Amino acid sequence: MKKTFKLDGLDCANCASKIERAIKNIDGVSSATVNFMTAKIIIEGDDSKFDNITAKMKEIVKKHEPDVVVRAV
């Protein structure tokens, strides 16, 4: 499954790449890309684990950039 989320208020490029790296390490994620310019993240991963992946992803974003709001596209 492949899903795109919008990261509203993503201002720091270094944080974006830290977020990307951390999300790649979530169990079940096969690929993750944060596009800083469009402020979007595309995650590809196991269908069965996707709810868990989404929850973990939100935690990671919150940890690095507490002011960013994650929105499903």
Residues that bind another protein (CB under 8 A): 11-17, 21, 31, 33, 35-40, 42, 63-64, 66
CB of 53 to another protein, least distance (A): 17
Q: How many CB atoms are closer than 10 A to CB 47?
A: 8
Instruction: Closer to another protein by CB, 11 or 46: give it.
Output: 11
- 2/45 Cα distance (integer angstroms): 7
- The residues, any chain, with a CB within 8 Å of residue 9's CB and separated by 6 or more, are 39, 65, 67, 68, 69
Shortest distance (Å) from residue 12 CB to another protein: 7
Considering the complex, state which of residue 40 and residue 49 has its C-beta at the smaller distance from another protein: 40
